[in-house]
Amino acid sequence: MTLALFATGCSNDEGSVFETPTEPEQENPENPEETPDAPEVATLIFIEATPADNIITAEASGEVGTNVEGRVIFTSTETTQRRMYITQNISGSGDMPFNVLEIDDPNLKDETKGDGSIDLDGSNQKDIDFTFELPVPDIDNGEIVYTFWTTTGKGDFRDASKRLALGVGTITVTVGDGTNPAAEVRAFTDIKLNAPAEDGTTKSFFSLLNETVYRIDEGREFRAFWDFGYYYKDNQASFASTANYDAAFGFPVEGLKPDADEVNAATETLNNMFFAESSLDADGFDGVLLSGDLNNIASSDVEDIDGLAVGDVIEFVDNYGKKGLIKITAIDPGFSVVNSITFDVKVQP
């Protein structure tokens, strides 16, 4: 899906920039004195100096296949806003990064950051006034929730509190009667991770956020996406959380931790994840369909698990409290970068 963003700088015209924009009024051809009500644009306002004036939620109605305009105004006095993060949650299926593919503002850099956030530049670090075209996907009923916030550095799509500058605000678009269906699990199949190379060139880490396998040396922008990694040690296939990977594996891998020249290097954080053996077998794993089916999983305090074998089912709780299961489907044992593990995942949205 191609997503477009239309950004406008803060107004220099007379009047308040915080006034909610409206569409131009059009005359009724049969009675020129009558004009229709102009639809209001769903608008969020965050003012650092006067937070009492903030508008943190807005609503709109949408039709499938169309776009709904959403306006965000973030004004800071002391804080420098460096990135804007946006997520989209369709029918309660979970917050996913809303990646902006087109930016039409000379004050913005002409590309997003590597993690998909908007790179704020120039005057936009203090005064933001953007109008977005928010797509309405093909659903019969439900809500599409768009969430916006800015950060002082590299943030985290799953944790708005990380280096938060201003926000968090939501624009909710209602389709039909607005009732979301029962939430299904997110299911990923045939995920393959390779044993790690010392230089970080292997795809050894997995992100539950976007179902993506990452090379370790891609860490500069994507460490916040990684949830766990694979390694082979003492003739055992093993998983470890990103935060505990170095300690569990016992060998430093280039790219896992930030270089000294990286922004926020001193305060970089890695994701925790907690594992335990599940009482379910492979058939039980296949029978898990709804998010509620995973509610009975309790978090352990163990961030690595070894001795993995084909057919094993592992339960986990991730850094953000989401519960899930991993089913091991294949193992090519060994320490070489061509050796690997393959698995399926089911996780709460």
Please write the tens of the pLDDT for every residue from 310-327: 999 999 999 999 999 999
The residues, ordered by sequence, that sit 6+ positions from 283 with a Cβ below 8 Å of its Cβ are: none
Residue 35 confidence (pLDDT): 46
Percent of the chain residues past pLDDT 90, beyond the cut:
75
For the stretch 86-112, pLDDT in tens is 999 999 999 999 976 544 555 555 568
Mean pLDDT of 7-23: 35
For the segment(s) 5-175, the CATH number from 2.60.40, 3.30.70, 2.60.120, 1.10.3470 is 2.60.40
Give the residue among 151, 143, 158 at the shortest CA–CA distance from 96: 158
Q: How far is CA 255 from CA 117, 185, 220, in A?
A: 21, 31, 8
**What tens digit of pLDDT does each residue of 109-148 get?**
556 888 999 999 888 899 999 999 999 999 999 999 999 9
CB of 291 closer than 8 Å to CB of 250:
no
CA distance 135 to 31: 34
DSSP 8-class letter at 235: T
Amino acid at 278: S
2 pLDDT more than 80 = no
Q: What is the pLDDT of residue 332?
A: 98
Give the closest residue to 128 by CA, choosing from 72, 78, 87, 77.
Answer: 72
For the cut 50, the answer to whether the pLDDT of residue 22 exceeds it is no
Checking if the pLDDT of 34 tops 80, the result is no
Q: How many DSSP H helices and E strands does the chain contain?
A: 3, 20
Q: How confident is the model at residue 45 (pLDDT cuts 50, 70, 90)?
A: very high
Q: Of 22, 95, 20, 7, give the one whose Cα is nearest residue 55.
A: 20
Question: Tell me, what amino acid is at 16?
Answer: S
- Site of tokens 């409206």: 22
Domain ranges of the chain: 5-175, 186-347
Residue 182, pLDDT above cutoff 90:
yes
Mean pLDDT of the chain: 88
Distance CA(127)–CA(240), nearest Å, equals 42
What residues contact residue 14 under an 8 Å CB cut-off, 6+ apart? none
Q: CA–CA separation, 205 vs 222, rounded Å?
A: 10
* Residue 5 structure tokens: 């963003």
Please spell the DSSP secondary structure of 61-110, one letter per residue. E--TT-EEEEEEEEE-SSPPP-EEEEEEEETTS-EEE--------TTS-S
How far does Cα 146 stand from its chain's mean position? 11
299 CB-near residues (< 8 Å, 6+ apart): 274, 317
